C-alpha cells in the first residue's frame, strides 16, 4: 500500500484575483491545513464540488417539476455551504433562489406569482452555475487538479 499523496497547491494562482472568492473567509479554511500539505482544505473544497453537482441536478429537476419549496430548500442549503468557503457569487445567487422559492422578491416582500418566481429561479440558477464554474476552474488550478 502506497502512502497517501500530499496535496499541494500552485502558489502562482492568485485566488484573490477571482471576484467570486472572499479571501478573508477562504483563508480561514487554508489556515487549518498542515504546513506544506493542503489535504484538509482540498477535502472540503472537492467535497463541495461534488455536493454542488448533485444539488444542481436536483434543482434542475425541481425547476422542471415547479417545486418551489424544494428549490427554496436547496437554495438555502447551497447558500450556507458556499458561504462557508467564501464563494460569494454562488452564495448570493443561492440567496435569490431561496427567496424566490419562498415566493418572495429580493427585498423579502411577498410575490404571489409563482410562475414569475420560477422564471426568476431559472435565471438565477443559470447565473449560479456560471459563477460556480468560474470559481471551480480557479480552485482546481490552485489545487493542481487536472480534471
Q: Over the stretch 91-137, which tens digit does the pLDDT of each residue have? A: 999 999 999 999 999 999 999 999 999 999 999 999 999 999 999 99
Q: 87-96: per-residue pLDDT in tens?
A: 999 999 999 9
pTM: 0.91
C-alpha distances (whole Å) from 18 to each of 23, 27, 87 are 9, 14, 10
Q: For the chain, what is the radius of gyration of the CA atoms?
A: 17
C-alpha distances (whole Å) from 28 to each of 22, 25, 85 are 10, 5, 9
Contact predicate 34/40, CB 8 Å: yes
The reported pLDDT for the residue numbered 2 is: 39
**Nine cell digits for residue 79:** 447558500
Residues 92, 29: Cα–Cα separation, whole Å: 20
User: If you average pLDDT over residues 64-79, what whole number do you get?
Assistant: 98
Domains of the chain as residue ranges with CATH: 15-142 (1.20.120.160)
Amino acid at each position: 500500500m502506497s502512502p497517501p499523496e500530499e496535496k499541494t497547491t500552485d502558489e502562482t494562482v492568485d485566488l484573490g484575483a477571482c471576484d467570486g472568492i472572499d479571501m478573508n473567509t477562504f483563508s480561514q479554511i487554508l489556515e487549518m491545513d498542515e504546513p506544506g500539505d493542503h489535504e484538509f482544505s482540498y477535502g472540503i473544497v472537492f467535497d463541495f464540488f461534488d455536493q454542488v453537482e448533485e444539488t444542481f441536478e436536483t434543482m434542475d429537476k425541481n425547476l422542471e417539476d415547479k417545486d418551489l419549496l424544494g428549490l427554496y430548500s436547496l437554495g438555502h442549503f447551497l447558500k450556507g455551504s458556499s458561504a462557508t468557503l467564501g464563494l460569494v457569487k454562488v452564495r448570493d445567487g443561492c440567496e435569490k433562489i431561496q427567496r424566490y422559492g419562498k415566493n418572495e422578491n429580493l427585498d423579502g416582500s411577498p410575490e404571489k406569482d409563482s410562475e414569475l418566481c420560477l422564471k426568476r429561479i431559472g435565471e438565477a440558477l443559470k447565473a449560479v452555475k456560471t459563477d460556480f464554474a468560474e470559481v471551480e476552474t480557479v480552485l482546481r488550478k490552485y489545487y493542481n487538479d487536472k480534471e
